[in-house]
Each structure stands twice: as structure tokens, then as C-alpha cells.
Structure 1
Amino acid sequence: MQTLNQEATHVMLADDDEDDYYVFSLAVAEVPVKVLLTRAEDGEKLMRLLDEKLPDILFLDLQMPIKDGHACLREIRADKRFDKLPIVIYSSLEDLKNIEMCYREGANLYSIKPSSLGDLTAILERILLVDWKKMLYFPTFSQFVVRAS
């Protein structure tokens, strides 16, 4: 767990939905990790922001305008500058086809958007307590999807 004198973890959320961003920001405020949260509302803005400042971890929605999350994931993983960037897919899509595609394309984890703030807080706590700077976690497929319980 981080203490107040430690640097904040820079979390970037790429998601066009205002309500999802608001709930995500509420959940981030509840985790025992100091977080600086930034947002990209679409895939093109995400790619511009990544060129400016790399976050410590990226939460990537698949359904975004202009450039969707799948296209962003492929572009990020094709660029060596982003090899150490942890990417958590943060999506309402629960189908196996999308989950398998994200796994194959190099996402680190897949989190299905939960229906409650408490579940989201629990998921974020588990993900943000990993020391991503010391290790880049690529789980087996059976461990790839993160759930609250």
C-alpha cells in the first residue's frame, strides 16, 4: 500500500461514456492507493495523450468513437515505446470472442464493467495494488478476466 508521501499512480481511463467515467472516478477515490486519474474520450485522443505522457496503467474501453479499443490495443502493442504499459480492458462486452481477442492482442487483464460501485472499487483495488512498475503481469487465460469476487 502506498503512503501519502509517495508519488501517485497515474491511471488513464479511455472511455467515452460520462457516467462510466464518473463511477470510475468515485471508485478510484475509494482505493487505498494515491491515484492521478486522466481520461481520453476516444481512441484518437488516447493515442495523442500516450505520446505526451505515459500513464502507469491504462484502462481501455472497447466501444469508443473515432477509433475503438481493439484498434488502440493493436496500435499500442505494435509500438515498442509502449511495451511496458499495463493495459486493462474495461468493457461491458462479456462475450468470449472479445475476451480471447484482447488476450491474443496483448492486454494484461480484462475487467467486465460491474453493476455496482462496491464491485468496481474491489476490482480496482486488486488491480492497483499490483506493483506494475516492478513486473508486467501476463496471466494465463483462465486468470485474464478480473471480477469483484
Structure 2
Amino acid sequence: MDKKIKILLIEDDKIEILKFNRAISSILQKHIITQANNGKEALSLLEKGLPNIILLDLNMPDTNGIEFLTILKSDDKLKHIPTIVLTTSDNDKDISECYRLGIAGYVLKPLKYQDYEKKISTILAYWSLNEFKK
């Protein structure tokens, strides 16, 4: 049975946030979404409560995705949170570094909305089937 999952979306681009919200609008009742505009804001939100998964963009101001991952994965209270990078960067160095830091997945944002919606639905369907430790 699919579970309601708590998702922290870390994304600074307003259009990408709108696109994400549109893509999940039909399944929104199944999930709780919290949004942060950058890694610094996300770390502050994590002090108030932990999500089941994090969807992370890499290219952000203040604390970017790689900097956020470095902090997250070095913190014993936070490093267990599955983090999926959701980005436009197909740079091999970024991909390697993210996996080295311990991400659960690296997903490129497609240009076509239908492809984007399908990827987001697949990610959330997969993670809603997983068992999470509190």
C-alpha cells in the first residue's frame, strides 16, 4: 500500500516549483510537500522536522546542492534521509560527486513537460513503497 510521504523540495526556480506542483497535483493528497529555495533554508527547515525524502536541485544561490549534500551527509542525524538530485546538470563531475556524497538517485529534468511529469510520478511512486525508519 502506498504511504503518504513527507518531501522536502529544494529548488530556487519559481517556474520549476510551479512545474513540480503541477506534476504532482493529481497525487498531492498522498504527500506532504515542504519547499526551500536553497540549501541554507533547507537546513533550517530540517531543524524543525525530517522529511522521508529530499528532492534537490544543484544550481542554487547561497548554499548550492553540492554544499548542501556535503553538510547533510556529514550529519549523523540527517545523513540517512534519501536524497534524489533533480537537476538540469548532466556534468559527469557533478554526478560523480553527488554519488560519492551518498545520494539515492540522480535524475535529469527533461525539457518536455510530459516526460517531467512521468519522472516525478515514478520517483514518488517508488519512494511511497519504501519502508522509512523514524
Q: TM-score, normalised by structure 1?
A: 0.80
**1:116 correspondence with 2:75:** no
Aligned length: 131
Greater relative CO (CA pairs within 8 A, separation 6+) = 2
Residues 1-149 of structure 1: matches in 2 within 5 Å? 2=2, 8-31=4-27, 34-130=30-126, 131-134=129-132
Any gaps of 5 or more consecutive residues in structure 2? none
Task: Using the TM superposition, give the Cα deviation of residue 11 of structure 1 relative to its aligned residue in structure 2, in angstroms.
Answer: 1.2
Change (3 A) 1:118 1:30: farther
In 2, the alpha carbon distance for the partners of 1:19 and 1:64 equals 14
Change (3 A) 1:65 1:35: same
Deviating above 2 A after TM superposition, structure 1's stretches of 4 or more consecutive aligned residues are 30-33, 130-135
Any gaps of 5 or more consecutive residues in structure 1? 136-149
Task: Using the TM superposition, give the Cα deviation of residue 123 of structure 1 relative to its aligned residue in structure 2, in angstroms.
Answer: 1.1
| Alpha carbons 1:11, 1:36 under 8 Å: kept | yes
Q: Which moved more, 1:120-129 or 1:103-112?
A: 120-129
Letter matched to residue 69 of structure 2: L
| Alpha carbons 1:56, 1:133 under 8 Å: kept | no
Letter matched to residue 133 of structure 1: E
In 2, the alpha carbon distance for the partners of 1:63 and 1:20 equals 12
Identity %: 27
In 1, the alpha carbon distance for the partners of 2:29 and 2:122 equals 11
In 2, the alpha carbon distance for the partners of 1:34 and 1:116 equals 25
Q: TM-score, normalised by structure 2?
A: 0.88
Change (3 A) 1:33 1:103: farther
In 2, the alpha carbon distance for the partners of 1:122 and 1:33 equals 18
